[in-house]
Amino acid sequence: MRAARLHGARDVRIEDVPAPKPGPGEALVRVRAVCICPSDWRMYVDGHAGGVAPDRPIIQGHEFAGEIVAFGPGVEPSRPGLDVSARVAVEPSWPCGTCDLCQAGRGNICRNVRFPSFPPVDGALAEYIACPISALAVMPDILSFEEGALAEPLGVSMHAVRLADPQPGHTICILGAGVIGMGCLVLSQARRAGEITMVEPVAARQTLPVHRGVHQVAASYLELVQRGYEADIVLECSGDSAALDQAVRLARPGGRIVVVGIPRDERITFDMSIARRRELTVVFSRRSHETIVEAVDLLASRRVDFAELPMRRYALEDAEDALIATGRAGEALRAVVLP
Ligand SMILES: [Zn+2]
Ligand SMILES: [Zn+2]
């Protein structure tokens, strides 16, 4: 099959590699759409993720949807509609199911979690990928494969908003109006949160939240702080290395911060004195957790409508261009590769 493999920093090659064989408990999926995550871009630019570099060329891509073409040996499709030719979205965090954390119902922080796009598991920038059937959600026909690929980042927002647990009337500040921030906006609205503010410095990204009914969009956190603004809950979705410090300044005493964005720097600083005096709760959020079915349902219900998010499309041959475009915060919210 054709695949885009990362050989090192800024080195993506389109190659012929053997198609994966689905194992027990797995389905073989013909990939139809892969959205490029900012974390893919960072891995592409740096050649490593969080200081860990792949020990072999790796296929990237973890936000994807496609069609089931085969099942592994002995797999009995366990859910209605989960058959050959079913259109599926995929939750790319694959827990072991047996460790203490999986047993405690926290599979997203499984000790042995597998994640496509990091060894030993190749990602989806290829024609085929083998996936555990437990990670699949059947998509109705009204959803495009591109929308299906966005079910993963929506699931990340869903997990973050669950951790934030906004109550009716809570004021919320969301840092970053990318896909994750937009997901947090609509999910917070659905929970009848109070006034929601977004901070987004990129002008091209400031209009969509306004269309979605956000109360205000600020170009910088500073203008909010100078006005004496404070929020019950701050959701950090920008991945900026300065954002945790900004979140601390934006949270009201007793407030809660949920950190979703992944900063490029492995060590960051924040104002400890403010955080302590305000007795803030800071929660770090890891990927998504059993959210894919609900995310697909939400997208299909159009209560969360991602069909109008600005996307730019690329062929598999141009996967490197899609990665490069993801590093330019601009008009498109996601580059999507159609293998
Ligand atoms: Zn992602
Ligand atoms: Zn586990």
286-310 per-position pLDDT tens digit: 999 999 999 999 999 988 888 878 8
Q: What are phi and psi of 11, to 5 degrees?
A: -135, 90
Give yes or no for a contact between 73 and 24, defined as CB atoms under 8 angstroms apart.
Answer: yes
Claim to verify: residue 243 and residue 216 sit in the same structural domain: yes
- Tens-digit pLDDT profile for residues 86-117: 999 999 999 999 999 999 999 999 999 999 99
Per-residue pLDDT for 49 more than 90? Answer: no
Claim to verify: residue 100 and residue 192 sit in the same structural domain: no
Nearest ligand to the C-alpha atom of residue 36: 1
| CATH number of the domain within which 176 lies | 3.40.50.720
User: Could you give the angle at which helices 151-164 and 292-301 cross, rounded to 10 degrees?
Assistant: 110
Claim to verify: residue 139 and residue 209 sit in the same structural domain: no
Cα of 97 to ligand 2 centre, how many Å?
5
**Domain count for the chain:** 2
Q: Is residue 230 part of a domain?
A: yes
Q: What are phi and psi of 217, to 5 degrees?
A: -120, 125
Nearest ligand to the C-alpha atom of residue 104: 2
Mean pLDDT, residues 13-26 taken together: 97
Claim to verify: residue 83 and residue 118 sit in the same structural domain: yes
Q: How confident is the model at residue 180 (pLDDT cuts 50, 70, 90)?
A: very high
pTM of the model: 0.96
Per-residue pLDDT for 198 more than 70? Answer: yes
CA 17/CA 14 separation, integer angstroms: 9
- Please tell me the predicted confidence (pLDDT) of residue 331: 63
Claim to verify: residue 162 and residue 125 sit in the same structural domain: no
Mean pLDDT, the chain, whole residue set:
95
Q: Is residue 302 part of a domain?
A: no
Claim to verify: residue 271 and residue 213 sit in the same structural domain: yes
Q: Is residue 85 part of a domain?
A: yes
Cα of 93 to ligand 2 centre, how many Å?
11
Per-residue pLDDT for 13 more than 70? Answer: yes
- Please tell me the predicted confidence (pLDDT) of residue 339: 97
Cα of 5 to ligand 1 centre, how many Å?
18
Portion of the chain with pLDDT greater than 90, in percent = 88
Claim to verify: residue 16 and residue 119 sit in the same structural domain: yes
Nearest ligand to the C-alpha atom of residue 40: 1
Half-sphere exposure at residue 52, Cβ-oriented, CA atoms within 13 angstroms: 6
- Tens-digit pLDDT profile for residues 206-232: 999 999 999 999 999 999 999 999 999
Mean pLDDT, residues 35-47 taken together: 94
- Tens-digit pLDDT profile for residues 142-158: 999 999 999 999 999 99
Mean pLDDT, residues 30-51 taken together: 93
Range of the domain at 24: 2-150+309-338
| CATH number of the domain within which 133 lies | 3.90.180.10
Cβ neighbours around 317 below 10 Å, total = 12
- Please tell me the predicted confidence (pLDDT) of residue 332: 76
Cα of 76 to ligand 1 centre, how many Å?
30
Claim to verify: residue 17 and residue 75 sit in the same structural domain: yes
- Please tell me the predicted confidence (pLDDT) of residue 79: 81
Cα of 184 to ligand 2 centre, how many Å?
27
- Please tell me the predicted confidence (pLDDT) of residue 50: 77
Q: Is residue 301 part of a domain?
A: no
Q: Is residue 294 part of a domain?
A: no
